[in-house]
């Protein structure tokens, strides 16, 4: 026997006799690979965009200014220290160890000369170095400022400084409020 079917003479000595349908399998597998590649590309593109979007949201959340006053006001562990200012007015220091933040509220500030400004200073606990927190205009009657990093703050001080500003306190303080951690 020659290995060909005499009933179907058209297939005699055909070079595809030994393929037995393998061309069809190859074609189907090639088509499947071509349809999977764009799907893989889209999955990678979508995953990459999702990672970038999440990164941008986290970055913006960290760069946005935080409302430390609201954090302290809503804290369950809030500690309040109050004092009257020399020459009139009232100061309230509120702190929260859990929020690692504090706020200073100044009310009924007495009028000062237009060439001066009230300046709120944070005094470091370890070095007594003063860092300016805020400058308040001469005509203001009240002000509220928030800050973070309670572990390093030993006290909050209010002074009257020249309108041009100063890098460190240059006058006697109107009030010094010690943080609860510093006591």
pLDDT, one tens digit per residue, over 37-56 is: 667 788 888 899 999 999 99
125 is a domain residue: yes
Instruction: For residue 145, give the nearest of 166, 131, 161 by alpha carbon.
Output: 131
pLDDT surpassing 60 at residue 32: no
Q: Are 54 and 73 part of one and the same domain?
A: no
Instruction: For residue 178, give the nearest of 150, 158, 156, 148 by alpha carbon.
Output: 156
Q: Are 79 and 163 part of one and the same domain?
A: yes
Residue 60 phi/psi, 5° resolution?
Answer: -65, -40
Task: Summarize pLDDT for 51-74 with one digit per residue, the tens.
Answer: 999 999 988 887 877 788 888 888
3 is a domain residue: no
| Residue 156's CATH number | 2.60.40
Write out the residue range of the structural domain in which residue 16 sits. Answer: 9-63
Q: Are 88 and 30 part of one and the same domain?
A: no
CA–CA distance, 28 with 31 (Å, rounded to integer): 5
Q: Which two tokens stand for residue 95?
A: 């702190």
Q: Are 57 and 132 part of one and the same domain?
A: no
Least confident residue range of 19-33, 59-73, 105-119, 145-159: 19-33
Which residue is it, tokens 């913006």? 60
Q: Are 106 and 134 part of one and the same domain?
A: yes
Kindly report the pTM of this predicted structure.
0.65
Per-residue exposure over 53-80, b if at least 16 CB sit within 10 Å of its own CB, e if not: eeeeeeeeeeeeeeebbebbbebeebbe
């Amino acid at each position: 026997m020659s290995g060909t079917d005499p009933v179907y003479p058209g297939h005699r000595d055909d070079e595809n006799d030994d393929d037995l349908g393998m061309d069809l399998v190859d074609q189907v597998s090639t088509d499947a690979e071509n349809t999977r590649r764009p799907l893989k590309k889209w999955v990678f593109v979508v995953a990459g965009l999702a990672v970038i979007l999440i990164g941008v949201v986290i970055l913006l959340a960290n760069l946005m200014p935080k409302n430390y006053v609201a954090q302290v006001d809503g804290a369950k562990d809030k500690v309040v220290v109050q004092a009257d200012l020399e020459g009139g007015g009232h100061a309230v220091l509120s702190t929260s160890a859990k929020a690692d933040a504090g706020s200073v509220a100044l009310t009924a500030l007495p009028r000062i000369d237009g060439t001066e400004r009230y300046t709120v200073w944070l005094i470091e606990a370890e070095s007594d170095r003063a860092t300016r927190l805020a400058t308040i205009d001469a005509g203001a009657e009240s002000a509220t400022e928030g800050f973070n990093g309670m572990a390093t703050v030993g006290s909050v001080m209010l002074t009257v400084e020249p309108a041009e500003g100063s890098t460190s306190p240059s006058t006697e303080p109107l009030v010094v409020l010690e943080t609860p951690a510093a006591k």
